[in-house]
Chains A and B, each alone.
Chain A
Amino acid sequence: MASSEQARQVVLTEDQFTTRPYSAGEEGIVATVQVPSNQVWMTAPGQPIELALVSKQTTTVDENTADQTVTLDPEAPMVDYLDDPTAGEYTGNAYIVGYFDSTGDGTPDTQITGSSTVQFNGTFSEDGDFVTSFEVDDTSGDAGTKDCEFYVVQRYGISTIQKRSAGAGNVSQSLKSEDSVRYAFASPNDPSADRQVTWDATMGGMRGILPPKYSLDIVFYDNTEGVALDSDRADNLTIALPVKQRGLKDDEDPGDLRRKVANSMTEL
C-alpha cells in the first residue's frame, strides 16, 4: 500500500491492464487500467516507456511436412527488448509467438517451440530489421492440416497513451502518442543507444497527474491493420509504463482533485 506522504515509482505492466477487442479502422481503447480510489498517480517524466502491441496472424500447416513457409503480413519488427526467435528463443516473450491446434478442437493452444509437433526449423527471412517469413516443420504422422496462430508485434498504426476522467461526459487527454514502429524500435535497455521513448519532460505539472478513479488507456488506431490483445494467448503483449504512486492525503478530497484535473484537461 502506498503511504500517504511519499510517492514511490512503480512500473505498470501488461498484467495490470484490462484488454479489449479491436477492429481495424476505428480509434479504440485496447488496454486500460484504473487508478484505485485511494491513490494518486503521476507519470514519471523522462522515464522510458515500453509498448509492444501484438496482432494475430493465422495459417494452416500440412501434416508430416517439413519446411513449410509462413509469410508474415505485416512483417514483424525485431524488437530489442523481447526474445529473438531468429536466435532460437522460441518463448512466450518473443516478438513472434506461435501456437498450433494439437487436439483438433479448433483452438490453437499448444505453443510452437523448436521441439513441438509443429516446430520452428530455424529458418527466418529478414528484411532490414523485420522478419518477413519463416519455416515450420510438422513432424506428426496423423492426418489433417493444423490451424496455427502467430502473435506478432504490430508495426503499423499509432499507439497513444491517454488519461481519461471517470463517469459520464468523460474527457481524455493524450500523454504520449507515437507510431507503433517507434515503440517497437525503442531501446530502453541499451546503454549506447539513444532510441528511448520516454514520458515527455513537460509532464511534470498537472498534465501528468491521474487522480483517483481516472483511467490510463492505451489507444490504437490503424486504417487496415488490427491488434489482438484480448486473446488469452497474446503473451508477448508488452506494456511497461513507469508511474509514481502515492496514497491520498488526509486533507485531499478526491472529488476536488478530479475536478481540478478535468478542468486542466479541457482548457487545452
Chain B
Amino acid sequence: MSGDKLSTELKWSIDETSVPDVPSPVQRWDVPDGANVTVRSGVVAIADFQTADPNTGPSGTSADPSRSTRLALGYKEPNDPLGAWTVFTQEQRIAPFNDLSLKDQQSSENAQNRVITFDPEEVGSGSLTLEDADEIALLVIGPDEIDGADSQFAIPMEFNNG
C-alpha cells in the first residue's frame, strides 16, 4: 500500500538508547507477523535526534547529539547472533538532520544530504524486502547516548499485509 512510513511512531517500533562509541540501535522495527516491508534506496529521510542527557558542547548545554555522530540502517534475520546488525545503507552524518528543524526538512528541495542510499555491496537491487520476524534498526555511532523515545525518524516504505 502506498503512503506508509517506516517511522518511530509506529506501533511495532521499539525505542532504544544508543551506547556511546559503539554502533548501536536507537530504534528497532520488528516486522509484524504475516507482513512484509519493502524499503527503497534513494528516499529522503526526516529525522531529529535528542540525547538521553543534556550534553555540554561549545554552544552550551543542549540535547543535540555531537556533530561527529553517524547513522545508518541495518537489518537482522531471526537466526543472526544477538546484536549482529547488517548495515545496508551508506553511513550518513547527523548534521544535515539536526541542523534543520523537522519543519524545514519536510521541504524536499535541496534534500541530497538527507537521501538514504543503499550500500551496493549489501543490497544490489536498490530495494530490500524484510519478512516477518526480521528486524530493521536505525543504528548510530557517536559519543552521546541518543534517546530513541525522544527522537524522530521516518522514511517511505511499502507495507504489505500477507
Contacts of B2 in A (CB 8 A): 200, 202
Q: Answer yes or no: B27 CB below 8 A from chain A CBs.
A: no
Give the number of chain B interface residues (Cβ < 8 Å): 23
Q: Answer yes or no: B18 CB below 8 A from chain A CBs.
A: no
**Interchain CA distance A181-B9 in the complex, whole Å:** 10
- Minimum Cβ distance to chain B for residue A13 (Å): 22
* Residues A194 and B109 in contact in the complex (CB < 8 Å), given A177-B4, A182-B46, A221-B11: yes
Contact A158 B102 (CB under 8 A): no
From residue 172 to 216 of chain A, which have CB atoms closer than 8 A to chain B?
A: 174, 176-182, 185-187, 193-195, 200, 202
- Minimum Cβ distance to chain B for residue A98 (Å): 23
Contact B3 A181 (CB under 8 A): no
Contact A176 B3 (CB under 8 A): yes
Partner among B4, B102, B108 whose Cβ is within 8 Å of the Cβ of A128: B102
Q: Which of A77, A128, A194 has the most CB of B within 10 A?
A: A128
Give the number of chain A interface residues (Cβ < 8 Å): 28
Specify the chain A residue showing the minimal Cβ separation from B50: A127
Contact A179 B154 (CB under 8 A): yes
Contacts of A222 in B (CB 8 A): 9
Contact B103 A200 (CB under 8 A): no
Contacts of A185 in B (CB 8 A): 102-103, 106
Contacts of B11 in A (CB 8 A): 27, 158, 221, 223
Number of A-B contacts (CB under 8 A): 59
Contacts of A158 in B (CB 8 A): 7, 9-11
Contacts of A202 in B (CB 8 A): 2
Contact B106 A177 (CB under 8 A): no
Chain B window 117-155, contacts with chain A (Cβ cutoff 8 Å), 1 for yes, 0 for no: 000000000000000000000000000000000001010
Contacts of A182 in B (CB 8 A): 46, 106, 154
**Interchain CA distance A200-B4 in the complex, whole Å:** 11
* Residues A174 and B1 in contact in the complex (CB < 8 Å), given A128-B102, A194-B109: yes
Q: Answer yes or no: B5 CB below 8 A from chain A CBs.
A: yes
Contact A157 B9 (CB under 8 A): yes
Contacts of A181 in B (CB 8 A): 102, 152
Q: Answer yes or no: A268 CB below 8 A from chain B CBs.
A: yes
Q: Answer yes or no: A90 CB below 8 A from chain B CBs.
A: no
From residue 99 to 137 of chain A, which have CB atoms closer than 8 A to chain B?
A: 128-129
Contacts of A129 in B (CB 8 A): 101-104
Contacts of A268 in B (CB 8 A): 1, 161
Partner among B1, B48, B107 whose Cβ is within 8 Å of the Cβ of A193: B107
Partner among A178, A195, A223 whose Cβ is within 8 Å of the Cβ of B5: A178
Q: Which of A156, A182, A193, A194 has the most CB of B within 10 A?
A: A182
- Minimum Cβ distance to chain B for residue A188 (Å): 12
Contacts of A194 in B (CB 8 A): 107-109
Contacts of B102 in A (CB 8 A): 128-129, 181, 185
**Interchain CA distance A77-B10 in the complex, whole Å:** 19
Q: Footprint of B on A, CB under 8 Å?
A: 27, 77-78, 128-129, 156-158, 174, 176-182, 185-187, 193-195, 200, 202, 221-223, 268
Query: Closest 3 A-B residue pairs measured CB to CB?
Result: A185-B103, A195-B106, A128-B101
